[in-house]
Structure 1
Amino acid sequence: MYRPAPKQVLSRRAVLGGAMALPVLSSPLIAQTGTRRVLHVDSYHRGNEWNDRIAAAFVSALEAEGVEVRVLHMDTKRRSSEAEMTGAAAEAARVIADWQPDVVTVSDDNAVKYLLMPHFRDADVPFVFCGLNWDAGIYGLPYANATGMVEVSPIPQILRLLRAHAKGDRIGYLAEDTPTKRKEQAFHEKLFGVDYARTWLVSSYAGWAEAFEAAQGEVDMLMLLGVGALTDWDAPAARQLAETRTRIPTGTDFEWLMPYALLGVGKLPEEQGEWAAQAALRILDGVSPSEIPLAHNTKGQLLFNPRIARRLGIEEAPALARMVE
């Protein structure tokens, strides 16, 4: 079992600078008694659907093998200042030092950037990452002690479907204002040559609604890519807005944004959680992380919203699409 170096053993006061302690485990212990321990560190908060589904698939697979699992939420989507993210990572490092898991898994970029890279790069404790967007190389991955699954989106496929219903070539990008969404936009441009005519990065539901309305007259098709950081998100109001004001085809790569979009190619978060669980089990059986190659997600499902389609005068759904209202 991993034994941290002295510099990694952090007291609660050292982690928090003497301030009131943050809650360490924002979800309850999810465990079966056993000798093998895995800590899953989620970059975001419980209630973020994508990450919750990753964690659920991950925990289910490990519990079936009698592994003791804890889930820790860093909450860095809602608490996103540099100081807050650094502090959340330091607290997670303290939990690792105290609990001494046999494997640590991390979900999404912030846990990699603020926890794995500065605290545990090439350390003794094995890590598995998932949900890391587009490029692991920017964090110097893989490390001797870390492997994982890189998350990519089917952006070219979505745009090809949107263009069949668009009256022009201008593409808009609407998402929450977070480092992850800025990174995604950059990779859309870099990897796929997407030239966004307009970009809206918002921090509130009111900002999202205003941008959605503006997009109807300023671009010919619109990508909707994330609202999890909007703490005042109003799903009923957003649905009503989309169903009454949409004038251009809209697309997404998240199933839960389909009430507001015409179509999507939905990634499956369970693929990430199941892969991470199988990698963790291999490591528990003695395989080195360096022997497990990096992977990319490959599964997806074509989604179609007939309510938005009727609004746009579209009568026929794509072949094999699942209807989502």
Structure 2
Amino acid sequence: MMRGILFWVALCCITMQSQADAVQPEKRCLLVNSYSPDYAWQRAVTKSIWLQLVGRCDIREFNLDAKRYPFPSQLAYQAEQAWSVIEQWQPDVVIACDDAASKYLVQPYLKGTDIPVVFCGVNNSGDAYGYPYPNATGMIEASPTDRLFDVVKQVNPDAKRGLAVVVDRLTDSIMAKVYRRLAEQRGLTVEVSVVQTMDELEATYQQAAEYDFLYFSNNAGIADWDDQTALNITRQYSSVLTFSAYRWMSPFVMLTIAHVPEEMGRYTGRTALRILEGESPRAIPVTTNKAIDIIINRPLLDLIGLELPPALKEQAMVIEY
């Protein structure tokens, strides 16, 4: 009898240990986000990363929260806190999402160390942060802005000037230069309007009547953003072609050609797994995102009576509300 009891006790201990091993992976993955979970782009990217890694490593997240702490001194302090987490927790791989994480954490603290890094969401190229490093690889974020400007010239060959709505933050300061360069390659000029409030957005939409198009890049960072107010502004003042490169902006612009955050998250998570399984970051080439979503907002287009190219419409999802 006693032997039977001891056998079952031993078996239970083994089973409990096996379950503990299953739910507590030995590897550690630290995900450092440039923003916070209330930003739609970050939510989509990090969710896709988690889907790849859950059960394969112990995951922790650190948010630099660049929208709440936009100044360089604030982001440097946030990155210092992230570095303290790295020193104490000793992750097997660090995942750095978007530009602030690369600029303020990876480049000053992790470049050339023994800690593997997978980055994503770095705009245009990794040159600004010295990528690639022997211990870092990842995915560059290429904006589909060039395709949007191509559409401008297709629907209006005489188009010359456009207005770009940006918020004063790191990504926008990087991308504004790109917008101008891509526009110039197509015989267009782009003027930048920095918008931080809904009143400023309304004024910019009114001003856009003097231009040939309006590029409403992103609403993230507009302090008093309100969906219904934005819809009212776009319906009342849309007088030229409006467009964006972010999916969640599609209710507020006529055309969206957007990069796909889930593509970036899947690739980043899978690359982290390859490193956890023993592959060197040096052996994994840096790549660039390729997938796009095309969304047409039919009611807004109808306000100005504009027809988009048939080939574009064949690939698009259409909002008909």
Q: Does 1:141 align with 2:131?
A: yes
- Whether contact under 8 Å (2:180, 2:190) holds in the other structure is no
Q: Does 1:312 align with 2:304?
A: yes
Structure 2 counterpart of 1:18: none
Structure 1 counterpart of 2:70: 80
Report the Cα offset of residue 281 of structure 1: 0.5
Name the aligned partner's letter for residue 292 of structure 2.
Answer: G
Structure 2 counterpart of 1:15: none
Structure 1 counterpart of 2:101: 111
**Of 159, 177, 185, which residue of structure 1 is paired with 2:168?**
177
Report the Cα offset of residue 98 of structure 1: 1.3
- Whether contact under 8 Å (1:32, 1:66) holds in the other structure is no
What's the secondary structure of 1:319's corresponding residue?
A: helix
**Of 191, 206, 215, which residue of structure 1 is paired with 2:199?**
206
Structure 2 counterpart of 1:16: none
Report the Cα offset of residue 190 of structure 1: 3.5
Alignment of 1:253-292 (within 5 A): 253-292=245-284
**1:67-111 CA distances to partner (integer Å, 9 max, x unpaired)?**
221121110122111221011000000111111111000111011
Name the aligned partner's letter for residue 213 of structure 1.
Answer: Q
The whole-number CA distance in structure 1 between the counterparts of 2:153 and 2:235 is 20
Report the Cα offset of residue 229 of structure 1: 1.3
Root mean square deviation, CA, Å? 1.8
**1:260-289 CA distances to partner (integer Å, 9 max, x unpaired)?**
111111110001111111110010011111
Deviates more, 1:228-237 or 1:295-304: 228-237
Deviates more, 1:112-121 or 1:225-234: 225-234
- Whether contact under 8 Å (1:302, 1:321) holds in the other structure is yes
The whole-number CA distance in structure 1 between the counterparts of 2:152 and 2:23 is 47
* Number of aligned residue pairs: 293
Structure 2 counterpart of 1:126: 116
Q: Does 1:244 align with 2:236?
A: yes
Would you identify which runs of 4 or more consecutive aligned residues in structure 1 move more than 4 Å? none
Higher helix share: 2
Query: For the structure 1 residues 192 and 102, does the alpha-carbon distance in structure 2 shift closer, same or farther, using more than 3 Å as the test?
Result: farther
Alignment of 1:225-244 (within 5 A): 225-244=217-236
The whole-number CA distance in structure 1 between the counterparts of 2:124 and 2:190 is 22
Report the Cα offset of residue 32 of structure 1: 4.7
Which consecutive residues of structure 2, in runs of 5 or more, have no partner in the other structure?
Answer: 1-21
Q: Report the TM-score when normalising by structure 2.
A: 0.87
The whole-number CA distance in structure 1 between the counterparts of 2:152 and 2:184 is 16
Name the aligned partner's letter for residue 70 of structure 1.
Answer: R
- Whether contact under 8 Å (1:165, 1:249) holds in the other structure is no
Report the Cα offset of residue 184 of structure 1: 0.8
Structure 1 counterpart of 2:57: 67
The whole-number CA distance in structure 2 between the counterparts of 1:165 and 1:78 is 39
What's the secondary structure of 1:251's corresponding residue?
A: strand
Structure 1 counterpart of 2:7: none
Structure 2 counterpart of 1:46: 37
